[in-house]
Structure 1
Amino acid sequence: MTTARSQTWLAIFFIVMGAILRVTRHVGWLPLPPNFAPVSAMGLFSASRLPRKYGVLVPLGLMLLSDAVIGFDRWTITLAVYLSFLASAGLGFWLRRRVSFGRWIFATLAGSVIFFLVTNAAVWMFGKIYPSSIIGLWQSYIAGLPFFRNTLAGDLVYSSMFFGLHHLVVVYFRQRALARDLPPHG
């Protein structure tokens, strides 16, 4: 498990699980609140753990696949969600240089805030609910605050799961390999 290849497959496994969680939550098999989804965590985790060429492509492909299953929103909203995902992936590329608790928290919180700002601005800009003024934009952000709470909670939970479980599995197999290489005592 200490090889780069096996760690890549482990990371892909967690990203696939994130896509499955996204679908099962949406179809109602998991009774979770709106916006409590693994999208941002998938982008952050994959870009920080997968080889560069797959860091965005694998989770982006899984998002497209899961959106095909659960249904796409209006193209303007879908575009905002995908742009927010790419921002989280960008934070993941920044995080890959050195993962620490502080950098991980910053990247997770920044991804949540970016998602909130971008998607609510898209609802305001392309929807018909809010007036086309700065007041309308503020109304959109205020109305989105309950969803932001869920987004933030979901990002923290899923990101903790992806990074934490990945770390635990890698450490476990590294310890086993070290123990196997030790000479027998006697």
Structure 2
Amino acid sequence: MNHGKITLQFAVITALVLMLAFSRLLPHPFNFSPVAALALFGGARYKSRFSAYLIPLAAVWISDLFLNYAFFGRLVAFYDGAFFTYLAFALIVMLGSVALRKLSPGRLLVTSLSASVIFFLISNFGVWLSGGLYPLTGGGLAACYAAAVPFFRNTLAGDLIYGFAIFYLYELVANRFPALKTA
């Protein structure tokens, strides 16, 4: 943003982040989600660090409200373990802001894979610590991570597919409309 004006670049980035967040409401395989991609994209493309964190995390939270309502049958602002999930997303935004300012296929591949691992480790730690599903022992933590392994494949696939799609779609459009180019 520039002197209180919303730039075309800011508006397009925000529209893409919101589009990704709300695509979570469409039917999809478990854990095949655009959330890490939108966090990486926001971190890499917003000029303002405040916007880079606020907009992607708020977009995910708002889409979570809809998903939580569908799952619980009532409005649930934050589910058990939500702190860990949002912490993982914030770290993924930071990863995008550091690693993807200069885009290359190799950087995007490594960063997307890293985002998948960050989300897996932190969110499942939160499930173990706050969900009451596993004993609070080393064995319980290991069982929690083991139970999550089958979902990790879809997390990896979603992070890679959505990540490459959103970053390279934006680059394609930015090459046609130079006002969208990032510095």
TM range (shorter): 0.7 to 0.9
The 5 A counterparts of 1:80-95 are: 80-95=84-99
Shift of 1:14: 1.1
Query: Please, which runs of 5 or more residues in structure 2 have no aligned partner?
Result: 1-5, 69-75, 179-183
1:1-186 correspondence to structure 2 within 5 Å = 5-24=7-26, 30=27, 32-52=28-48, 53-71=50-68, 72=76, 75-174=79-178
Quote the Cα distance in structure 1 between the aligned partners of 2:33 and 2:77.
Answer: 15
Partner SS, residue 164 of structure 2 = helix
User: What are the Cα deviations for residues 135-160 of structure 1, in whole angstroms up to 9, with x where unaligned?
Assistant: 21111111101111111111111111
TM-score (norm 1): 0.81
Match of 1:27 in 2: none
Q: Give the secondary structure class of the aligned counterpart of 2:59.
A: helix
CA shift, 1:134, in A, is 1.3
TM-score relative to the length of structure 2? 0.82
Identity level (%): 37
Rounded Cα–Cα distance in structure 1 between residues aligned with 2:23 and 2:166: 12
Deviations 1:90-115 (A, max 9, x none): 10110244222222112111111011
Q: Give 1 or 2: higher helix fraction.
A: 1
Q: In structure 1, list runs of 5 or more residues that go unmatched.
A: 25-29, 175-186
CA RMSD of aligned residues (A): 1.9
CA drift of 1:74 comes to 5.7
**Structure whose CA Rg is larger:** 1
